[in-house]
Each structure stands twice: as C-alpha cells, then as structure tokens.
C-alpha cells in the first residue's frame, strides 16, 4: 500500500464522518420542522427522514425511532438553557441571589415563549419516558451550571446538596409550567410570578437571606 493510498483512505473516512454529522443535523432540524405545527404522536420517522433528504434506512444508523430524535432535540434545547445560565447579560443588575434566580427564570421563560418546540419537547404532557429522561439529564447539567454561577457571583457558605436542591427547585417550576400549558397556549406573567415565588421560597430554606456579592476584579 502506497502513502498516497493511505492518505486517500483517511480523506474518505473524514468525508464519511462529515456526511454523517450533516445527516444527523438534518434529521434533528427536520424533527423541529414537524414539531412546529404537529403534535408528537402525529409525526412519523419516515416523514422526518424524507423531509431531511436522508434515506430511511440510513436514518436508522443515527436514531432508533422518532422518540430518539425528540430526545436529541431535547438535549439540544437543554444546552441552550445551560449556555444562557452560564453567560448572564453584562448589564444584568444582580445584587442578590434572589435577583439571580429571577433572571434565570426570565431567561428560561423567554426561550419557552418564543419556541413552541421547546414547550412541546420539554413541557409537553405526551412525551414518553425516554424523552423525559433526556430532559432530566439536561436539568442536572443546568443545575450544575447554576451552582457554578452562584459560586462565581456570591460569597457562598457551604451548603449540602446544593446541586440536588437546585434540581428539585427547577423540577418544581417545570411541573408548574407543564400544568399551566395543559389549559393555556403559552406562559403568562401570572405563572411566571408563581414560579419565581416557588423557586425563591424553596431555596430560602437552604440559602441565607443575603449573600454578599463577590467583588469583581
């Protein structure tokens, strides 16, 4: 085997990998397309693959079924929440941990309000256990990001199980949002205020009323 043959094979493998990445991306984008106008139970794996321009047989190399695609989309949306929490606006007026929690909820609500797919995938009552499990994993990752931000923004005392308690508080407000959306099309100001009361009230059992902000260097 010549050096040229080896190099050629490496390029072919790289090309196949890139094509696989693009096909996977197209399948997830196609799933989002259908969820914008249809309920999850109305969508088929076959029509997702067809719209993505990926042969159905090839699509099964990437995803086992449509719920696997929903899970991939849930993870993608969950990452958006985590990135938002990790980079609060530079002009945000955060003088207390209650301000920070309020900002987190406002940021999350802005995503939910603007993205009907996020509401269906993360708050929809019809999503199966597999998708819910992905959402739970995203909540844990989000809670870790929030915990890190608490330590970055404030002089934090040692608090046992802070990440787990953040998970509990986030799960509480998600349940409130899900229940609200069973009778409403979107999240209104009333349920948003209730979510803030719930999360701040719960965390007040473990966080002191005042946390000193860290001095910015």
Decide if pLDDT at 7 tops 80: no
Domains of the chain: 1-63 (1.10.10.60), 71-217 (1.10.357.10)
Mean pLDDT to the nearest integer, 179-187: 96
Burial profile 69-100: b = 16 or more Cβ within 10 angstroms, e = fewer: bbbbbbbbbbeebbebbeebeeeeebebbbeb
Quote the pTM value: 0.85
Decide if pLDDT at 175 tops 90: yes
Average pLDDT, the chain: 90
Residue 132's H or E segment, with its range, is: helix 129-153
* CA–CA dist 110, 106 (Å, integer): 6
Taking the CA of residue 186 as centre, how many other CA atoms within 13 Å lie in the half-sphere pointing to its CB? 12
Confidence class of residue 217 from pLDDT cuts 50, 70 and 90? low
SS3 40: helix
* CA–CA dist 140, 166 (Å, integer): 9
């Amino acid at each position: 085997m010549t050096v040229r043959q080896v190099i050629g094979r490496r390029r072919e493998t790289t090309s196949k990998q890139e094509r696989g990445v693009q096909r996977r991306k197209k399948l997830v984008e196609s799933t989002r397309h259908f969820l914008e106008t249809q309920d999850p139970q109305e969508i088929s794996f076959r029509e997702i693959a067809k719209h993505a321009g990926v042969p159905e047989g090839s699509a099964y190399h990437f995803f086992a079924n449509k719920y696997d695609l929903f899970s991939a989309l849930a993870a993608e949306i969950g990452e958006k929440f985590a990135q938002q929490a990790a980079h609060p606006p530079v002009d945000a007026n955060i003088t207390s941990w209650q301000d920070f929690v309020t900002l987190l909820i406002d940021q999350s609500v802005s995503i939910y309000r603007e993205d009907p797919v996020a509401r269906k995938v993360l708050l929809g009552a019809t999503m199966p256990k597999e998708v819910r499990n992905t959402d739970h994993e995203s909540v844990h990752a989000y809670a870790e990001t929030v915990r890190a931000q608490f330590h970055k923004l404030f002089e934090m005392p040692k608090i046992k199980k802070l990440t787990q308690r953040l998970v509990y508080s986030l799960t509480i407000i998600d349940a409130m949002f899900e229940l609200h959306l069973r009778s409403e099309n979107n999240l209104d100001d009333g349920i948003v205020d209730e979510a803030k009361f719930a999360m701040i009230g719960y965390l007040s059992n473990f966080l002191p009323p005042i946390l000193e902000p860290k001095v910015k260097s």
